[in-house]
Amino acid sequence: MDSHSDIFEEIVRLRQEGVPTALCTILLTQGSTPGKETMRMLVRADGSTLGSVGGGCVEAEVIELAQEVLCTGRTETKSFTLNRKDLPESGLICGGQVTVLVEPVVSPRLILFGGGHVSAAASRVAKECEIQSTILDDRPEYADSSRHPAATDCRSGSWEELAQSIGTAEHQFVVVATRGHQADLEVLLALAQAGCRPRYLGLLGSKTKKATLERVLADEGVSEGFIRAIQTPIGLPIGSRTAGEIAVSLLAELVQMKNLESSRESRIRATTAN
């Protein structure tokens, strides 16, 4: 099996697990370059890779660019000029040039527990923000694509099964917005027991509701770290009241988080390089 087949099989596996991944493809080469056109490299969220775009310093820079693409969700194309560090055996001070396309193939996703009005609105706004969404509910009729056409995926099952199905979700945005306090509690317990540690864990409701559920979670032995991670109320403070307004505030918060994290990481890389 060739390396390209390995890469595409890994993309399928990571997509099923919801792990953000970027595909780097050499589009064009000029002059002397170790990487050749159509060579591909897959970069996972943890920085590990599969395949290659030629190795050396350029590959390290491509991996850094892939990490930024994973944060922004935007495809990037960048050209790199090779030098003695990239081609140590060539004797060249300036080598060739390689142009690489870096595209997110598995992007961060908004996972919504509960298929009510808020989740429906959130999936619509998420689509406009180019964020994929998954709606999960223990009632099949509320986890139906005909009810939520903007959602990328809809699934039903027990809360325990659904929580386990999303894995650790460490690069995903998770929001608990079920039909009531008891179901919210069941979902939060299921997420904690499944070892989920999402990038964002939101709970629809008030601070009073959160305090009540926190006490029950603590009594059930849920870790303090998991409880502290729960964000309530969700979204930016814009005085939201309707489902649509809550969805706007939520997605504004998630986009802000995604874009500001990307900018911060870019500044860190620039400072480290200097």
What pTM does this model have? Answer: 0.73
pLDDT over 90 percentage in the chain: 58
What is the residue extent of each domain of the chain?
3-107, 109-259
CATH class assigned to 109-259: alpha beta
More confident residue, 196 or 2: 196
CA distance readout (Å), 85 to 24, 122, 178, 194, 217? 21, 48, 55, 46, 54
pLDDT at 165 over 80: yes
More confident residue, 41 or 55: 41
pLDDT tens readout for residues 14-39:
876 667 889 999 998 887 666 576 78
More confident residue, 273 or 237: 237
**3-state secondary structure at position 101:** strand
pLDDT of amino acid 274: 45
**Cα distance between residue 171 and residue 193, in whole Å:** 18
Q: Is the Cβ–Cβ distance between 102 and 75 less than 8 Å?
A: yes
pLDDT tens readout for residues 64-123:
999 888 877 788 999 988 765 554 444 444 567 889 999 988 777 899 999 999 999 999
Beta bridge partners of residue 156, listed in sequence order: 137
Average pLDDT rounded to a whole number, residues 2-25:
79
Average pLDDT rounded to a whole number, residues 161-176:
91
Q: Give the pLDDT band (50/70/90) at residue 266.
A: very low
Beta bridge partners of residue 76, listed in sequence order: 102
Q: Give the pLDDT band (50/70/90) at residue 247.
A: very high
pLDDT of amino acid 91: 45
**Cα distance between residue 160 and residue 194, in whole Å:** 8
Range in 8-12, 36-40, 42-46, 218-222 the model is least confident about: 36-40
**Cα distance between residue 77 and residue 202, in whole Å:** 34
Average pLDDT rounded to a whole number, residues 144-159:
96
pLDDT over 70 percentage in the chain: 85
**∠ CA 103-106-109, rounded to 5°:** 125
